[in-house]
């Protein structure tokens, strides 16, 4: 059974900024959040510096424009006592297509 998804205001603002510049990337982010809601325990990575200490889910969106891929970090938390996750922040980093450690 998938978890419900609750959006916190900072995550909404992050998503809106991405959607305004890259609507197709925003659509892919929504797809990945749906995937995260299916099994957050399996997909989560441990919290780590420099991010706030929330579990994170990271993924690539390839070819977001002519020169870049987009590396996305979704920080989330489990809503206590509920079958829900709260999307806290959505970080993104544009990475040159020729970066050797990009999507494989």
List domains and CATH numbers for the chain: 4-96 (3.30.2310.20)
77 neighbors 88 (Cβ within 8 angstroms)? yes
- The lowest-confidence range among 15-19, 31-35, 45-49 is 45-49
How many C-beta atoms surround the C-beta of residue 92 within 10 A? 20
Nearest-angstrom CA–CA distance, 104 and 90: 22
Structure confidence at residue 79 (pLDDT): 76
Q: What is the pTM of this model?
A: 0.90
What would the pLDDT profile of 51-88 be if each residue is shown by its tens digit?
778 999 999 999 888 899 999 999 999 877 889 999 99
Structure confidence at residue 32 (pLDDT): 97
Structure confidence at residue 89 (pLDDT): 97
């Amino acid at each position: 059974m998938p978890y419900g998804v609750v959006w916190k205001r900072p995550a909404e603002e992050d998503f809106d900024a991405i959607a305004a510049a890259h609507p197709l990337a925003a659509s892919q982010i929504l797809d990945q959040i749906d995937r995260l809601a299916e099994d957050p325990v399996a997909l989560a990575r441990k919290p780590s510096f420099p991010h706030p200490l929330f579990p994170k889910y990271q993924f690539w969106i390839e070819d977001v424009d002519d020169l870049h891929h987009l590396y996305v970090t979704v920080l989330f938390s489990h809503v206590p006592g509920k079958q829900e996750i709260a999307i806290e922040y959505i970080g993104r980093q544009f990475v040159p297509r020729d970066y050797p450690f990009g999507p494989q």
